[in-house]
Structure 1
């Protein structure tokens, strides 16, 4: 770790020929370092609380905080594997060589700075310092990609930039699922009691019911997706051309002005998305359909937890719930006339409208204009 931080180029040279396995890298490096920000953040929140000192500080209950930390830790481990698949899939586009083990080395070791900087999470006020220090990981990624993936040095910057963009999209999706699960866990701290139904098939916490059968099925789905991806037999991502076909030419008087699509990853472990921009009378919102690939297991977990959260402000609201087996998120600011509305379909696809409109109903109509039934068919 010291050599990687102080002399990364020389250390990547040593790491390149080093024999390794994905399991070995997980057990001997990733699992250990990824625990630093998780444990530090847990201790910091329990001791100092979350919020702004002197204004508003909330200390979470012990059990919900521990559960939330375990969930976030598990998802961070999954993210390393998915990032490795993305790095491997992008290699040929930048004159590199596909090599799953080398890609995993890059994904694992380039996160070193961020994981070590996570120690600052133990004191929330220093969290921003940890965030800034973790940016050094971008440089580690930039120096490691050409060496381990054998890409052209002239294309190293582009390779790094595209990888970072894909990683941001990946980690954003993971963060959404994490926050949803964390919100559900937080509700447990207010529960007067918890109980398991007579057949052991559900758990009621604070008036919210968790389907344990669905949770178990979602866990198996996630495990199977990861195993298939590692074996190169994962279900392929939906074609971006197919996704673009779901976006209407207009919605509620808003005309589509642009249409674009992006995809990254391999063996179902990346993500594919199509997005259109819609405008009317100076207002503009985007409508996107995204295939989450291997992250489908995570959305299935959130759905099984019957997640429900709600926040009210002076000018708007934000809420998440499970309706008809689908995870639904809604946010609206009445003064700015902007917000977002999204649903998860088939535990694999998201449909989201985000931006300015006359009312949130315009965003809901845009989402409803996408053929959710057909997407559910693709998810099976």
Structure 2
């Protein structure tokens, strides 16, 4: 492989996400070169996050717990360029790690096959970078965790590792790769002045299938759930192949005219599709006692399958300071995201059936008011709309 046309790149992205087992089988025997994979696959996809972050930072700034930071054009551009260069470096170094570890787990050293694994398994993480274009949606970057599942499927196959050693090979590769990315993150911090990555902890010795890591912008991830997560993802991917977005008007009909003292003053809906994947959403503005909140219902459709990684890996986040708090994790079997600022503004969102996102955001008396707004949506009816 010396490059990808635009249509081929889109088709492969779609296939590696929705039909990963079949696509890895096609990728395995394909002729390729390390340079071709870097220029034809990694280079265009790795640019998505830095470019989206550049646009999002300049247009919206970065907000956390009531504090907003808007970088200068020079800072944003320099940060994007450095981030892009380091993303390319990470892909190349990860391939070297994969190749070097192969003999320790009964695999075969092969730099081209290792580069295939590094390049294609990173697809989900690269594409998830698009959410940086709207910083408030950056939490959806968690969908990039799907790359761990892609790595789990492709690594032992392409590197010819025996089945009994495949899990150990995968987990050790993930741990070493995360150490690499954190080191790169520290370098990025030194060069751009951005926030440093959080510390990483893991309770597994080399070769053991377990432990946890703390990923910057994601939170605590339980690697011991890798095998369990793969089974969940396999089922989710099968559902995603036939997922059709719910009609936007049907979603809008779920938004009540009034609830808990809040009165709906506006409603809008939209839908979009690209490369065989799409989604739809509806949102309404509610007002009460001079305060305003937006309640949104979104159908992630096919992409929702990737969100299953949050629950499969037991991802948890928690942060608190003088301005407020942020936290996320599993509550009553659903992935929940909660933020509250002491100035009376916050958001509360729930991921239903690894597909539907219901979120209330705005000025409210307390976080309980936002939870009540989310609770006003008939979750049973919404889940029944899944096709």
Q: TM-score range by the shorter chain?
A: 0.5 to 0.7
Counterparts in 2 of 1:328 and 1:224: CA distance versus 1, 3 Å: same
1:19-168 correspondence to structure 2 within 5 Å: 21-22=8-9, 29-35=40-46, 41=83, 73-75=122-124, 77-78=126-127
2:139 to 159, 176, 179: 176
Specify the alignment match of 1:271 in structure 2: 279
Specify the alignment match of 1:317 in structure 2: 325
Counterparts in 2 of 1:170 and 1:71: CA distance versus 1, 3 Å: farther
Distance in 1 between residues matched to 2:321 and 2:120, nearest whole Å: 28
Please state whether the residue corresponding to 2:296 is helix, strand or coil. strand
Distance in 2 between residues matched to 1:169 and 1:237, nearest whole Å: 23
Specify the alignment match of 1:231 in structure 2: none
Q: Which runs of 5+ in 1 are unaligned?
A: 1-14, 48-61, 63-68, 81-166, 229-233
Counterparts in 2 of 1:20 and 1:276: CA distance versus 1, 3 Å: closer
Counterparts in 2 of 1:368 and 1:29: CA distance versus 1, 3 Å: same
Specify the alignment match of 1:85 in structure 2: none
Counterparts in 2 of 1:169 and 1:236: CA distance versus 1, 3 Å: farther
Count residues in correspondence: 246
Please state whether the residue corresponding to 1:246 is helix, strand or coil. coil
Shift of 1:338: 0.6
Specify the alignment match of 2:288 in structure 1: 280
Shift of 1:298: 1.7
Structure 2 residue 303 is the aligned partner of structure 1 residue 303 = no
8 Å CA contact 1:79–1:170 kept in 2: the answer is: no
8 Å CA contact 1:71–1:178 kept in 2: the answer is: no
TM superposition score normalised by structure 1? 0.53
8 Å CA contact 2:229–2:312 kept in 1: the answer is: yes
Distance in 1 between residues matched to 2:344 and 2:363, nearest whole Å: 6
Specify the alignment match of 1:191 in structure 2: 201
1:192-271 correspondence to structure 2 within 5 Å: 193-194=203-204, 203-205=210-212, 209=222, 210-220=224-234, 223-224=237-238, 228=241, 234-265=242-273, 269-271=277-279
1:360 to 356, 367, 377: 367
Shift of 1:78: 4.5
Specify the alignment match of 1:118 in structure 2: none
8 Å CA contact 1:286–1:355 kept in 2: the answer is: yes
Shift of 1:271: 1.5
Shift of 1:333: 0.8
Shift of 1:44: 5.7
8 Å CA contact 1:260–1:276 kept in 2: the answer is: yes
Counterparts in 2 of 1:249 and 1:225: CA distance versus 1, 3 Å: same
Question: Is 350-359 or 169-178 further displaced after alignment?
Answer: 169-178
Deviations 1:215-273 (A, max 9, x none): 213543565477x4xxxxx4221011211121112222111111111111168611100
Structure 2 residue 386 is the aligned partner of structure 1 residue 379 = yes
8 Å CA contact 2:246–2:280 kept in 1: the answer is: yes
Counterparts in 2 of 1:373 and 1:323: CA distance versus 1, 3 Å: same
8 Å CA contact 1:72–1:178 kept in 2: the answer is: no
Please state whether the residue corresponding to 2:277 is helix, strand or coil. coil
Counterparts in 2 of 1:190 and 1:324: CA distance versus 1, 3 Å: same
Distance in 1 between residues matched to 2:45 and 2:340, nearest whole Å: 35
8 Å CA contact 1:310–1:317 kept in 2: the answer is: yes
Deviations 1:76-124 (A, max 9, x none): 55469xxxxxxxxxxxxxxxxxxxxxxxxxxxxxxxxxxxxxxxxxxxx
Distance in 2 between residues matched to 1:190 and 1:19, nearest whole Å: 37
8 Å CA contact 2:254–2:377 kept in 1: the answer is: yes
Distance in 1 between residues matched to 2:124 and 2:135, nearest whole Å: 12
Specify the alignment match of 2:151 in structure 1: none
Counterparts in 2 of 1:248 and 1:302: CA distance versus 1, 3 Å: same
Distance in 1 between residues matched to 2:235 and 2:135, nearest whole Å: 21
8 Å CA contact 1:195–1:205 kept in 2: the answer is: no
Shift of 1:377: 2.9
